[in-house]
Amino acid sequence: MTQRNYVIAIIIIVLFIVLAAISFGIYKLVHGARRELSVTSVSSSSHSQSLAD
């Protein structure tokens, strides 16, 4: 019975590590997309200012 508890504990720890890795990957994707979006909006606003002048 104790052996089974160890297996369950290991499975839970592995699942926690996998979920943490997936969360970190999603965070990096969102952070990169936001950075690209802000660069695009800054460059488009600078173009519109130069056109207005």
Residue 1: the pLDDT is 61
Exposure class string for 1-27: b at 16+ Cβ within 10 A, else e: eeeeeeeeeeeeeeeeeeeeeeeeeee
Number of structural domains found in the chain? 1
Residue 48 lies in a domain: no
Give CA–CA dist 11/27, Å, rounded.
Answer: 24
Q: Which domain holds residue 31?
A: 1-35
What pTM was computed for the model?
Answer: 0.59
* 7-53 pLDDT, tens digit each: 999 999 999 999 999 999 999 999 888 887 776 665 555 555 544 44
Q: Is residue 30 part of a domain?
A: yes
53 located within any domain: no
pLDDT of amino acid 12: 98
Q: Which helix (DSSP H) or strand (DSSP E) does residue 40 occupy?
A: helix 2-52
| 20 within domain boundaries | yes
Residue 21 in domain: yes
State the CB neighbour count (10 A cutoff) for residue 41.
10
